[in-house]
Structure 1
Amino acid sequence: MAGAQTRTSYDTAAERSDALWRKIGEDPSGLRMLTGDRPTGALHIGHYFGSLRNRVRVQDMGVETWLIVADYQVITDRDVIGDIKGSVRELLTDYLAAGIDPERSTIFTHSAVPALNQLMLPFLSLVTQPELERNPTVKAELAAAGKSAMGGLLLTYPVHQAADILFCHGNLVPVGRDQLPHIEQTRVIARRFNERYAGGEQYFAPPSALLSEAPTILGLDGEHKMSKSRGNTVMLRMTADETLKKIKKAKTDSDRLITFDPEGRPEVANLLTIAAECSGRAPQEIAEEIGDKGAGTLKMYTAEVLNEHLRPLRERRAELEQDPGYLFEVLRRGNERANAEADATLQRVRELMGMVY
């Protein structure tokens, strides 16, 4: 029964996502995308191909875009946060280098928008402890952090994400399948707020997930997701030579004949996927072309097309690194706009709750 319910839930989300893609293509007016990242340092190609490139695409198609630098989320499952300001700067650099346009997109930080975080209180009144504990993404985050006891901030992580989305009335959230439980929790919170506090008025519109067909890029070990902590990444900021050295060390197998077999040969398939994303070719076509020339040829080809694909981004990144003042000015302007939006939302929430004295 649980499996059937999961499939039905995914199918419903997929239908809503398909409708959103059609609307974006026909008329993106009225759509507002909320997305973002935890600032844990510079981004790698897994981030880029998995989400960042798609965000730029949606922005360029005319959807109003809000990006949250979720600095408070860094402390949800970490005891040491490190150089948080440096990590924020690296994230800003990658955003702008990849094509996020601060004239069309609002970039802001959790910690700089008090009214956003104050929405957590009424939102927490709308969920139960068992609902939060059942969230599979929270369980996965706890396991990834290697902890046995769940902190209060991690437990309420889905509610914080709901505040991130709803404070600016975001109605489109690009996510992968594994993040759908968070979107559903946000939809539940929006509906319950409208029913309990807004007298049935749809003040908060339940947002929809925008699902992407972007492939999952594994780390260079071919076994795990790309992760800086595992050292299996190609960072966007790397030089062409550093990228080549990294790709040369990627794990493959002993079969000289190159084939695209994600299940049976995940390491080789991962390199083919990266090459396909960069070249616009099908991975099967690349595999057939390389044939029995072996993994060395595949690695050289992958490094070549990856470096060429990232060349404009890296050139722009080098320029941005020379002017950190500009980066933080972009963030200051974004924080100003986010605060204005959050203040207006919180004021209306207080009015609906009868808490304006």
Structure 2
Amino acid sequence: MNTTPRSAGADVPSSDSAADELGTSAAQARSAVLEELILKDPGKFRVLTGDRPTGRLHLGHYFGTLHNRVRLQDLGVEMFVIIADYQVLTDRDVADNLTGHVEELVLDYLAIGVDPARSTIFTHSAVPALNQLLLPFLSLVSVAELNRNPTVKDEIAHSRQSSVSGLMFTYPAHQAADILFCKANLVPVGQDQLPHLELTRTIARRFNDRYGNGADVFPQPDALLSNAPLLLGTDGTKMSKSRGNAITLAADADETARLIKGAKTDSERHITYDPATRPEVSSLLLLAALCQNRTPQQVADDIGSAGAAALKRTVTESVNEYLGPIRARRTQYAQDRAYLRETLREGNERARAVADSTLAGVRAAMNSDY
């Protein structure tokens, strides 16, 4: 395994300028260029992506990120998929059943088509060298930089905890270690994750400046923004595992039908796609359209004046048909827990080898190789 992929920046206009930090528009423009480069030479890219094991993944995750991971894998991009079990230790309810949550994630990954032969699935806790990078990385950022990270602020606001642990406070630096341990040069993210990635780029740049002696020890990874759709939960708010408003990939056909039947709509009988004024109806149309590989407008035209009941029936049929093969694979994998553990064991071994090599290079650069 090549642990030092070439930087994507060799063929892409430099992103070190201030313009790269101006916001989403710059990231979107750069992502369009990166997509073209991926098609031309997928082997030059290494991706780090993953999830925290807080419960089963749902349709929002699937159409938001999971589907894209499989797409990149199938194009030939090298994938590292982290299960960030250390980052849920701040949640006692989750931490008390960590093994179960980790296995649920592995099941979801395998069911959607993540291939352990082409994508390395691993856990935080099994890769000591990755976590050891956190210490030098923390020395390169200030408390103020950690404190003003908007993603961390959001995590703290939704943690429902009376105090904030040091672990939660260091999330941005820990995520930098996740990305840089394997020298990933591409990270698929949503717009809300751009500040996290920018801090990772800052850490990589500062480490290179301080310890690189003119060479780049770490790449400065690029953000790959997708045009992932925003699916609302069945209650009309953001789809979330914790809110109980999500259709999980593991849900059976009957549960899916029940959840969609109770989904919030509105009083207007004629079905139209209008996200601004009819967000709940439009989200259901979008979900059906994604499953049918059509546009929401086309689905709306088919339903017309048949009303919300017809809309929900269409969505239910579309989702159940789409998820059928995924659910079948998930059921099959769930019957072989030994295979799940073997998948993690092999992924952890590969990740440890990469992390050990990276840490050795870091020690040499810092003159602490003794």
Same fold, TM-score > 0.5, yes or no: yes
Deviation at 1:93, TM superposition (A): 0.4
Partner deviation per Cα, 1:65-87 (whole Å, 9 max, x = no partner): 00000000112455752310001
1 CA distance for matches of 2:279 and 2:193? Answer: 23
In 1, Cα distance between the equivalents of 2:124 and 2:235? 34
Q: Is the 8 A contact 2:20 2:27 kept in 1?
A: no
Q: Deviations over 1:206-259 (max 9, x none)?
A: 001111111011111112x21222111111111112111111010111111111
Instruction: Write out aligned runs for 1:15-30 (5 A).
Output: 15-30=29-44
Kindly report the root-mean-square deviation, in angstroms, between the aligned alpha carbons of the 2 structures.
1.5
Q: Which amino acid aligns with 2:257?
A: L
* Structure 1 residues 202 and 5, CA gap change in structure 2 (3 angstroms): closer
**Counterpart position of 2:265:** 252
Answering whether residue 305 of structure 2 is matched by residue 292 of structure 1, we say yes
CA distance in 2, matches of 1:302, 1:280: 13
Where structure 1 has 5 or more consecutive residues not aligned to the other structure, the ranges are: none
Offset at residue 150 of structure 1 (A):
2.6
Letter in 1 for 2:283: N
What SS does the corresponding residue of 1:237 show, helix, strand or coil? coil
Q: Compute the TM-score of the two structures, normalised by the length of structure 2.
A: 0.93
Query: SS of the counterpart of 2:80?
Result: strand
The 1:195–1:76 alpha-carbon spacing in structure 2 relative to 1, beyond 3 Å, is: farther
2:142 aligned residue: 128
Q: Which of the numbers 181, 189, 195 marks the counterpart of 2:209? A: 195
| Paired residues of 2:285 and 2:299 also in contact (CA < 8 A) | yes
Out of 332, 339, 361, the residue aligned to residue 319 of structure 1 is 332
After superposing the two structures, state which structure 1 stretch, 29-38 or 237-246, moved more.
237-246
- On the 8 A contact 1:78/1:145 being kept in 2, the answer is no
1:61 aligns with 2:61: no
| Separation (CA, whole Å) in 2 of partners of 1:286 and 1:306 | 13
Alignment of 1:184-263 (within 5 A): 184-223=198-237, 225-263=238-276
Using structure 1 for the length normalisation, give the TM-score: 0.96
Indicate yes or no: 2:58 matched with 1:37.
Answer: no
Residue in 2 aligned with 1:335? 348
Q: Distance in 2 between matches of 1:132 and 1:139?
A: 10
1:277-331 CA distance string (max 9 Å, x none): 1001110111122111100000000010111111110110110000010011010
Cα contact 1:77–1:141 (8 A) shared by 2: no
Q: Secondary structure at the match of 1:273?
A: helix
Q: Does the aligned pair in 2 maintain the 1:113–1:335 contact within 8 Å? A: yes
Map of 1:145 onto structure 2: 159
Residues 1:14 and 2:34 are matched in the alignment: no
Contact kept? 2:120, 2:347, Cα under 8 Å: yes
Counting aligned pairs with the same residue, the percent is: 60
Contact kept in structure 1, 2:58 and 2:247, CA below 8 Å: yes
* CA distance in 1 between partners of 2:303 and 2:105 (Å): 36
Does structure 1 residue 265 correspond to structure 2 residue 272?
Answer: no
Q: Given that residues 56 and 100 in structure 1 are in contact (C-alpha distance below 8 angstroms), is that contact kept between their aligned partners in structure 2?
A: yes
For the pair 1:110 / 2:133, whether they are aligned, the reply is no
2:11 is matched with which residue?
A: none
Could you tell me which of 306, 310, 314 is aligned with 1:301? 314
Q: CA deviation at 1:6?
A: 9.7
Question: Match of 1:155?
Answer: 169
Task: Quickly say closer, same or farther: Cα 1:6–1:222, change in 2 above 3 A.
Answer: farther
Structure 2: where are the runs of 5+ without partners?
Answer: 1-17
Q: 1:7 to 1:186 in 2, by over 3 A?
A: closer
Cα distance between partner residues in 1 of 2:327 and 2:81: 21
Question: How many correspondences in the alignment?
Answer: 353
1:83 and 2:103 correspond: no
1:197 is aligned with what amino acid? Answer: Y
